[in-house]
Structure 1
């Protein structure tokens, strides 16, 4: 396994789901881990479960003042791995039925949050001449997914941000990459299947079967697999400006 001892990783959206799985994998690989999010109780639970070398800090990634406060609290910590995982799924509805407020809420977290965290923690990486940023996007940013327009558009925006940012900071020794998971087993996908079933009039099982049938392996990926993929990407020193699909063959 990759040895990340001596490095500190900051994982946004770290209180549950993919964020907690990514934090767990990084911690197991030896990194000190800071889990960040809005739910203090969930963050504390993750940090307590990981134990030594883990801490929890609250932050609203969409709020510049909150992000600046986070940066200030970590001023004495050399964050060399930044995983921008925080994200919201947004509405399941036709574009013509989506409010401006719902659209903005998705972009505020998924895109603005990624921008703000990069802006806050990249200067120190550039000064040290080393660092890794992994932005979690989605295969949904690269293929049609009806009734999920804000989410899909926001994830494509993250991919575009990553590819451009890689060329800005690569010369300073900082690598920026995107990890694009396919559908991940868990509460979020269960919610999406339920909402799609309500919209279409079918069953939840039918909605799930139709979705996973698009994958070569005929299944979703797991949270653990996403965590392992983040660690694997950090063990590929030539990887920069890349968008790595982890989709069980959803994109092939």
Structure 2
């Protein structure tokens, strides 16, 4: 039977690559996103994949999406919590609380709320896979990005706790920690840092890559491939892990 997959924030970027990766295996996929423009483009390019507008800061919106998607898919085998925003790029004493909260809501709270809905479905059928997108920032501190780093560290703690709770039901839960992923989102991160530090974009870009053993950007398709593997029969006993896909970070970017 084809896998039934739900993916958050998947109309563009890494999420889109993950959706296409699962669809290529024959899976039934339902994605959500907050951007109407991105959703319109996604639907036009991928008419076979269901796509819903959802603001993941709202528990009610998440519950509505699950009600629709579970009916559409006829169940759920894989949940990929991909949603995240970069949050403010500033020193802690310059960050306002509203910006802190928004980053936590999207990067952490949405993972919890989606897992809360997925867990009883997967426990009942005694199978399933939850994949949470953390970050290399969830394995190291991150100067001038404290809300983002705090959320991504917490995602790993949530993942390991879910693995303990769901393991007896043969449900796996793992965290993927991407490094510097090629694309407009990473470009915006580096642009914001360059502005905050008063240095060139090229200097920041070079610093990120220099700390890796494999000195190139990660491709979104590589993250998608890892998600597909973690949800496959070959990975049925891999759970509670934080898996970096970052070219091996030797020294984390300090900025």
TM value normalised by structure 1 = 0.94
3-state SS of the aligned residue for 1:110? Answer: helix
The question of 1:55 aligning with 2:50 is answered yes
Please name the residue that 1:191 is paired with: 188
SS at match of 2:140: coil
CA distance in 2, matches of 1:21, 1:55: 15
Q: Name the residue aligned to 1:239.
A: 238
Report how many residues are paired. 247
Q: Measure, in 1, the Cα distance between the counterparts of 2:92 and 2:218.
A: 28
Root-mean-square deviation (Å): 1.4
Aligned match of 1:119: 116
Which structure 2 residues correspond to residues 193-212 of structure 1 after superposition, within 5 A?
193-212=190-209
Corresponding residue for 1:86?
83
Which portions of structure 1, spanning 4 or more consecutive aligned residues, are displaced by more than 6 angstroms? none
How far did 1:50 drift? 3.0
Alpha-carbon offset, residue 44 of structure 1: 4.0
DSSP 3-state at the match of 1:250? coil
Q: Secondary structure at the match of 2:176?
A: strand
Residue 46 of structure 1: how far off its partner (Å): 2.1
Q: What CA deviation, in whole Å up to 9, does each residue of 1:90-114 have, x standing for no partner?
A: 0111011000001000001111100
Q: Residue 251 of structure 1: CA displacement?
A: 5.6
User: Conserved in 1, the CA contact under 8 Å of 2:30 and 2:69?
Assistant: no
How far apart in 2 are the matches of 1:196 and 1:45? 29
Alpha-carbon separation, structure 1, partners of 2:198 and 2:38 = 35
C-alpha distance in 2 between matches for 1:106 and 1:48: 30
Q: Of 48, 64, 68, which aligns to 2:63? A: 68
Could you tell me the TM-score, scaled by structure 2's length?
Answer: 0.93
Counterpart-to-counterpart distance in 2, 1:210 and 1:112: 31
Residue-by-residue CA offset, 1:131-178 (whole Å, 9 max, x unaligned): 110000001111132111000010000000000111101101211111
| 1:101 equivalent among 98, 103, 115 | 98
CA distance in 2, matches of 1:237, 1:192: 35
- Does the Cα contact within 8 Å between 1:44 and 1:55 map onto a contact in 2? no
**Alignment partner, residue 178 of structure 1:** 175
* Structure 1 unaligned spans of 5+: none
1:35-59 CA deviation, whole Å, 9 max, x = no partner?
111123422432442343x111121
Q: 1:48 to 1:128 in 2, by over 3 A?
A: farther
Match of 2:151, SS state, is helix
Whether the 8 Å contact between 1:135 and 1:178 is mirrored in structure 2 is yes
Deviates more, 1:155-164 or 1:38-47: 38-47
Report the 3-state secondary structure (helix = DSSP H, G, I; strand = E; otherwise coil) of the residue aligned with 1:231. helix
Correspondence 1:137 to 2:134:
yes
Matched, 1:154 2:186: no
1:67 is displaced (CA, Å) by: 1.1
- Of the candidates 9, 13, 16, which is equivalent to residue 13 of structure 1? 9
Of 213, 217, 235 in structure 2, the residue corresponding to residue 216 of structure 1 is 213
SS of 1:221's equivalent in the other structure is: coil
Shift of 1:25: 0.6
